[in-house]
């Protein structure tokens, strides 16, 4: 029912107002080589990851790139460390600031991004 | 694939097709610019919506209660506990230390006879359901979102829906409180009834809650049905429906005559709860994002026409915690007030009328529900059941033009603000709304005479000068 309503309104909206997607596409990738290559996750860090980032990045909630999904992570990594860290710290689209990790510091977030982008093998 | 999933996927595909074109509307001002990088090495703190921020001196995340006590002995300056950052009000921001209780977690004990369970206070609500299920218990109720920590939820009188169901705070049967001076207090209604009543909803102003004992019930299943119905029609029969169902609430669609109505009741039917792929964008979220670009005056007819032709949805059945809470990925800011039951319908009508008359840009549905009364000092529901009304605004946009118009309406009907949501009330107004407010402040003064647990927001609430 809800989807029916959504689709009906979407159609009417598009026909009458030419509505498009509200989200802007990501900025074009900037040059960056092997971002987060030196970031290292610890065993306690993995446990904390499982209670924070994992809430969205395992199942892909809200469009979050899944752990190990290279195709999803590649364009994000191409944005470079500074941009990706800014998204993690300050939030971006559906991503909440700090990704529910209230005690994470910069190196923790760097390690988690690499951990997820490399499929948990980092 | 289930019928539900097929419809959802179909809607998603149609949505992507018709919304794939470029935007022609003018997007409202975006306030959460992405260029905010921290100026120092210490990371800034923001809440879930991004509406609250702080640059704390540092963060401390004790692994044990003893580590917390040791820290309190050596740290100086202000201290604020943080849960998962889901409060929209400024309860956390401090230039002192933020204390993260995430590591004080897990199920620590349970009693099959009394159906109580003792949990680390930093456990998230979403984690509680599965661990209680293993010991055949279930929480009486949950809020709509379950990513908050237990300590954060009870400290703000977080609640779900149900005329016979209380806030989470009221189901606390005991807790451990570490005072700002590092003393550990074990509180319950028998040992320290006054302090316990204050600590059940404390805004994190009395110290650090490290462990919570919850009254639960035997694990159970729930059946949820959802339908679309004219808002006025629902309001006419709301109290009878709220008494007939375990949970009854509605989400009035702004700029529309309709509401999404939800009933939840206990059942022993087999589990049937088809889930869409989590990485598929929620078409409803996408729709709200797109409606931002439709002129406000045109939204109502568009929504009403679609709703009138909508088919019925099928009920879902699952264990309680999978039915009660929802994943909300679309970030927003929220204001919520609770008014006396008989003021609920007129208050809601005035809010909806004002949105229409002033052509306020509000794409998020409202939420309207009843919650049972209690006797906790700072509970919004102390003294009797109330009708809770929530309004929301996309987190990317400034909520003030909307909320500033709505808040006086809540006041007019005797509303009490949700402590974790946006409001502008100060000490002089709060004292009149909460009969035990002064007692709470006396208790706070006794436990924290130097005001280490205070931040600017709490000073305003409590009438304490800087």
Chain A contact for B39 (CB, 8 A cutoff): no
Q: Is residue A15 part of a domain?
A: yes
Find the domain containing A9 and state its range: 2-117
B455 pLDDT above the threshold of 60: yes
- Give φ, ψ of B265 to 5 degrees: -140, 155
The predicted model gives B102-123 an average pLDDT of: 98
Which of B183-192, B299-308, B390-399, B440-449 shows the lowest mean pLDDT across its residues?
Answer: B299-308
Q: Please say whether the beta carbons of A112 and A57 come within 8 A.
A: no
Spatial contact of B108 and B118, defined as CB atoms under 8 Å apart: yes
- Are B24 and A2 an interchain contact pair (Cβ–Cβ within 8 Å)? no
Which phi and psi angles does B173 have, rounded to 5°?
Answer: -105, -5
Output the six-digit token pair for B12: 């998603």
B150 to chain A nearest CA, in Å?
A: 14
Q: What angle do CA B124, B65, B187 make, to 5 degrees?
A: 80
Q: Residue B378: pLDDT above 90?
A: yes
Rg (CA), chain B: 22
pTM flag (> 0.90):
no
Least confident of A11-15, B4-8, B172-176, B346-350: B4-8
Q: Determine the Cα–Cα distance for residues B274 and B316; give it in Å rounded to an integer.
A: 8
How much is the pLDDT for B25? 30
Least confident of A72-81, B62-71, B214-223, B413-422: A72-81
Q: Mapping DSSP to helix (H, G, I), strand (E, B) and coil, where does residue B249 land?
A: strand
Residue A111 is assigned to a structural domain of this protein: yes
Nearest to B158 by CA among B316, B336, B410, B396: B336
Chain A residues whose CB is inside 8 A of the B35 CB are 86
B423 CB neighbour count, 10 Å cutoff: 23
Report the pLDDT value the prediction gives residue A35, as an integer from 0 to 100. 76
Mean pLDDT of B34-49: 66
Across the range B153-162, mean pLDDT stands at 98
Chain A residues in contact with B36 by the CB 8 A cut-off are 86, 90
Task: Answer yes or no: is A122 within a domain.
Answer: no
Closest CA to B284 of A6, A57, A88, A48: A6
- Rg (C-alpha) for chain A, rounded Å, is 17
Report the half-sphere exposure of A57 (CA within 13 A, side-chain side). 27
**Count of CB atoms within 10 A of residue A76's CB?**
19
Q: Inter-chain contact B303–A5, Cβ cutoff 8 Å? A: yes
What's the structural domain count of chain A?
A: 1
A34 assigned to some structural domain: yes
| B25 contact partners, CB below 8 Å, separation of at least 6 | A17, A19, B292, B293, B294, B295
From A21, which residue of chain B is nearest by alpha-carbon distance? B19
Residue B6 has pLDDT above 50, yes or no: no
Question: Is A68 a domain residue?
Answer: yes
Across chain B, what does the average pLDDT equal?
Answer: 90
Inter-chain contact B24–A18, Cβ cutoff 8 Å? yes
Is beta strand B137-138 parallel, antiparallel or unpaired with respect to B217-218?
antiparallel
Question: A10-57 pLDDT, tens per residue?
Answer: 555 555 555 544 344 444 444 445 778 788 888 889 999 999 999 999
Domain ranges of chain B: 221-416
CA dist B343 and B352 (Å) reads 14
Which H or E run contains B227? Answer: strand B221-230
* Chain A nearest CA to B29, separation (Å): 13
Whole-angstrom distance, CA of residue B128 vs CA of residue B321: 9
Q: Which of residues 23-82 of A touch B (CB under 8 A)?
A: 23, 48, 51-52, 55-56, 59-64, 66, 82
As for the ipTM of the complex, it is 0.83
Q: Could A22 and B309 be called an inter-chain contact, meaning their C-beta atoms sit closer than 8 Å?
A: no
Highest-confidence range of A6-15, B268-277, B368-377, by mean pLDDT?
Answer: B368-377
Q: Is residue A14 situated within a structural domain?
A: yes
pLDDT given for residue B343 in this prediction: 98
The residue among B440, B344, B330, B336 whose CA lies nearest residue B385 is B344
The pLDDT confidence band at residue B237, using thresholds 50, 70 and 90, is very high
What's the rounded Cα separation, in Å, for the pair A11 and A33? 43
What number is the average pLDDT over the span B436-463? Answer: 98
List for chain B the helix, strand, coil content (%; round to 5): 30, 25, 45
Beta bridge partners of B175: B187, B212
B221-416: CATH class: alpha beta
CA distance B410 to B146: 26
pLDDT reported for residue A5:
57
**How far apart, in whole angstroms, are the C-alpha atoms of residue B129 and residue A58?**
19
CB contact at 8 A, B390 and B425: no
- Over residues B297-329, the pLDDT tens digits come to 898 888 888 887 777 789 999 999 999 998 888
Identify which of B44, B102, B291 has the shortest CB distance to residue A89. B44
What CATH number does the domain containing A29 carry?
1.10.760.10
Residue A56 lies in a domain: yes
Task: Give the nearest partner residue to A19 out of B23, B83, B100, using CB atoms.
Answer: B23
B15-34 average pLDDT score = 31
Residue B23, Cβ neighbours under 10 Å: how many?
18
Q: How far is B91 from chain A (nearest CA, A)?
A: 15
Residue A55 lies in a domain: yes
Q: Which residue has the higher pLDDT, A2 or B6?
A: A2
d(CA B204, CA B192): 18
Percent of chain B, pLDDT > 90? Answer: 81
Specify which residues B397 forms β-bridges with: B30
């Amino acid at each position: 029912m809800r989807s029916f309503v959504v689709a009906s309104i979407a159609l009417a909206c598009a026909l009458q107002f030419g509505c498009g997607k509200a989200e802007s596409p990501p900025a074009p990738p900037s040059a960056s080589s092997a971002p987060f290559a030196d970031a290292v996750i610890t065993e306690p860090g993995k446990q904390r990851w499982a209670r924070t980032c994992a809430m969205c990045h395992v199942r892909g909630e809200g469009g979050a790139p899944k752990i190990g999904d290279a195709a999803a992570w590649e364009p994000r990594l191409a944005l470079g460390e500074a941009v990706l860290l800014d998204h993690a710290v300050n939030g971006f689209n559906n991503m909440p600031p700090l990704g529910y990790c209230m005690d994470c510091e910069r190196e923790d977030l760097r390690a988690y991004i690499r951990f997820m982008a490399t499929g948990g093998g980092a | 694939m289930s019928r539900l999933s097929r419809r959802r996927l179909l809607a998603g595909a149609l949505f992507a097709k018709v919304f794939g074109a470029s935007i022609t509307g003018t997007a409202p001002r975006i306030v959460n610019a992405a260029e905010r990088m921290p100026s120092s090495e210490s990371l800034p703190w923001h809440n879930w919506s991004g509406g609250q921020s702080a640059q704390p001196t540092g963060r401390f995340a004790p692994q044990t209660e003893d580590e917390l006590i040791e820290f309190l002995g050596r740290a100086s300056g202000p201290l604020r506990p943080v849960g998962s950052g889901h409060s929209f009000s400024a309860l956390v921001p401090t230039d002192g230390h933020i204390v993260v209780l995430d590591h004080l977690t897990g199920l620590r004990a349970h009693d099959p006879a009394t159906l109580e369970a003792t949990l680390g206070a930093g456990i998230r609500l979403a984690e509680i359901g599965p661990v209680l299920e293993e010991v055949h218990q279930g929480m009486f109720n949950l809020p709509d979102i379950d990513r908050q920590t237990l300590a954060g939820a009870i400290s703000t009188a977080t609640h779900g829906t149900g005329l016979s169901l209380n806030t989470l705070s009221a189901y606390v049967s005991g807790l451990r409180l570490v005072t700002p001076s590092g003393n550990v207090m074990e509180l319950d209604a028998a040992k320290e009834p006054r302090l316990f009543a204050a600590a059940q909803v404390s805004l994190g102003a009395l110290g650090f809650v490290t462990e919570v004992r919850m009254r639960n019930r035997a694990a159970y299943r729930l059946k949820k049905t959802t339908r679309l119905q004219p808002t006025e029609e629902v309001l006419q029969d709301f109290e009878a429906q709220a008494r007939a169902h375990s949970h009854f609430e509605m989400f009035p669609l702004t700029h529309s005559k309709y509401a999404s109505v939800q009933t939840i009741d206990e059942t022993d039917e087999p589990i049937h709860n088809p889930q869409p792929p989590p990485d598929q964008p929620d078409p409803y979220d996408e729709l709200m994002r797109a409606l931002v670009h439709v002129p406000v005056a045109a939204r109502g007819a568009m929504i009403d026409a679609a709703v009138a032709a909508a088919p019925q949805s099928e009920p879902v059945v699952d264990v309680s915690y999978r039915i009660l809470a929802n994943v909300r990925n679309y970030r927003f800011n929220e204001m919520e007030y609770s008014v006396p039951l008989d003021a609920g319908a007129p208050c809601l009508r005035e809010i909806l009328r004002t949105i229409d008359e002033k052509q306020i840009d509000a794409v998020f549905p409202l939420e309207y529900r009843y919650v049972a009364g209690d006797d906790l000092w700072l509970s919004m529901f102390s003294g009797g059941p109330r009708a809770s009304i929530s309004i929301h605004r996309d987190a990317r946009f400034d909520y003030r033009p909307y909320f500033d118009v709505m808040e006086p309406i809540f006041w007019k009907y005797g509303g009490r603000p949700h402590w974790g949501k946006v409001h502008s009330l100060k000490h002089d107004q709060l004292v009149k709304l909460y009969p035990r407010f002064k007692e709470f402040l006396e208790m706070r003064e006794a436990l924290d005479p130097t005001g280490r647990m205070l931040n600017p927001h709490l000073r305003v609430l409590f009438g304490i000068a800087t």
